């Protein structure tokens, strides 16, 4: 389904502000911010965000396809996005992801780094609020969808917080972690709620769970066989050292993103090629790629490779290049 109404932009500030804010709840943000946190800020913060994000998003995506509440009708609403129009509306997973990521980052860092508590709280609130408002501005959700998504995410954060340290410890030390991290997400993806028509929710869920699975295996391997690569200590020296540190941060980020994107492209092409050969369809056949036996393995393998590369291969490359 596409946009059903033409529109004229009269306020470019709001238009670009909320289009940008909407992108903060999409893959382009996940694939940059979460690895950036791991490479440049703190391993433990990144681990907690990824675990919370994957759990929250799975529950949100499944809830959509169980509740089957429609998105706002157009007209009268003018929709500025097309891809997600085929999905149901309640709850807003953009609102859920924004709330989960911003507040889990705030909670995980407030006792480890020196910054004003009020500033961190305001930053988390502003981030999540902008993403929530973007869903209303773009016409993709009702107010109830957005409030429901934010509240569900907040409740899940409250429920998960007491178990953060226990979950983190098990994921780093349990010998069953790699098997659990791969098998459970795969079972959940293959048993995703069935719909009467195709929706991208199953594919998006597989992408999220695959990335989290690959990253979790990487966390476990790093803890078992490698020393902690980044200490996450704050810089206390003068401007020359701060400038040098920023250059290393940027270098780690751009090298890492290049490797991650290259991994995604290579693995996706290889897996689609093998599945196309197995099930006799051309790689460019979008309908064939939406079939369960194709969509789940190609997206899971692709994004688990991305998660593993970001947490294992990229840090090794950073060390090899002297970017530690």
Domain count, the chain: 2
Q: Among 43, 141, 169, 318, which one carries the catalytic annotation?
A: 141
Buried b (16+ CB within 10 A) or exposed e, 123-144: ebeebbbbbbbbbbbbbbbbee
Does the residue 236 lie in any domain?
Answer: no
pLDDT number for residue 237: 38
Residues 123 and 213 reside in one and the same domain: no
Domain termination residue (choose one: 138, 161, 184)? 161
- Could you please report the per-residue DSSP string of 36-92? HHHHHT-HHHHHHHHHHHHHHHHHHHHHHHHH-PPPPPTTTSPP--SGGGGS--SS-
Residues 102 and 27 reside in one and the same domain: yes
pLDDT number for residue 299: 92
Domain termination residue (choose one: 161, 183, 217)? 161
Residues 257 and 148 reside in one and the same domain: no
Specify whether 169 is catalytic. no
Structural domain boundaries enclosing 277: 165-226+241-323
Residues 211 and 103 reside in one and the same domain: no
Does the residue 234 lie in any domain?
Answer: no
Residues 119 and 262 reside in one and the same domain: no
Q: What number is the average pLDDT over the span 102-129?
A: 87
Pick the more confident residue, 227 or 53.
Answer: 53
Q: Are 310 and 256 in contact (CB under 8 A)?
A: yes
Domain termination residue (choose one: 118, 136, 161)? 161
Q: Are 166 and 202 in contact (CB under 8 A)?
A: no
Residues 218 and 139 reside in one and the same domain: no
Residues 155 and 177 reside in one and the same domain: no
pLDDT number for residue 3: 47
Residues 287 and 142 reside in one and the same domain: no
pLDDT tens digit sequence for 233-273: 443 333 444 567 788 888 889 999 999 999 999 999 999 88
Residues 198 and 125 reside in one and the same domain: no
Residues 57 and 197 reside in one and the same domain: no
Pick the more confident residue, 239 or 276.
Answer: 276
Judging by beta carbons within 10 Å of its beta carbon (0-12, 13-18, 19+), is residue 16 exposed, middle or buried? Answer: exposed
Specify whether 94 is catalytic. yes
Q: Among 43, 94, 169, 318, which one carries the catalytic annotation?
A: 94
């Amino acid at each position: 389904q596409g946009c059903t109404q033409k529109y004229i932009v009269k306020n470019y500030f709001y238009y670009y502000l909320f289009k940008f804010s909407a992108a903060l709840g999409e893959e382009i943000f996940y694939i940059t911010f979460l690895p950036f946190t791991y490479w440049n800020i703190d391993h433990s913060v990144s681990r907690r965000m990824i675990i919370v994000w994957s759990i929250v998003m799975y529950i949100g995506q499944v809830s959509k396809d169980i509740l089957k509440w429609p998105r706002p009708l157009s007209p009268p609403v003018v929709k500025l996005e097309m891809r997600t129009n085929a999905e149901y509306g309640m709850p807003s997973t953009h609102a859920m992801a924004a709330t989960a990521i911003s507040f889990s980052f705030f909670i995980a860092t407030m006792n480890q780094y020196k910054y004003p508590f009020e500033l961190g709280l305001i930053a988390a609130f502003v981030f999540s609020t902008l993403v929530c408002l973007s869903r209303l501005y773009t016409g993709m959700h009702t107010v109830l969808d957005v409030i429901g998504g934010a509240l569900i995410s907040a409740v899940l954060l409250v429920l998960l917080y007491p178990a953060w340290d226990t979950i983190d410890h098990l994921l780093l030390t349990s010998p069953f972690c790699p098997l659990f991290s791969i098998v459970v997400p795969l079972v959940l993806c293959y048993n995703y709620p069935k719909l009467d028509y195709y929706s991208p929710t199953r594919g998006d869920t597989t992408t999220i769970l695959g990335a989290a699975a690959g990253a979790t295996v990487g966390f476990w391997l790093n803890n078992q066989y490698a020393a902690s690569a980044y200490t996450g200590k704050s810089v206390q020296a003068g401007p020359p050292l701060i400038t040098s540190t920023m250059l290393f941060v940027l270098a780690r980020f751009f090298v890492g993103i290049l490797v991650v994107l290259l991994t995604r492209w290579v693995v996706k092409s290889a897996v689609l090629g093998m599945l196309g050969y197995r099930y006799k369809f051309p790689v460019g056949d979008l309908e064939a790629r939406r079939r369960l036996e194709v969509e789940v393995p190609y997206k899971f393998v692709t994004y688990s490779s991305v998660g593993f590369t970001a947490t294992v291969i990229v840090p090794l490359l950073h060390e090899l290049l002297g970017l530690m």
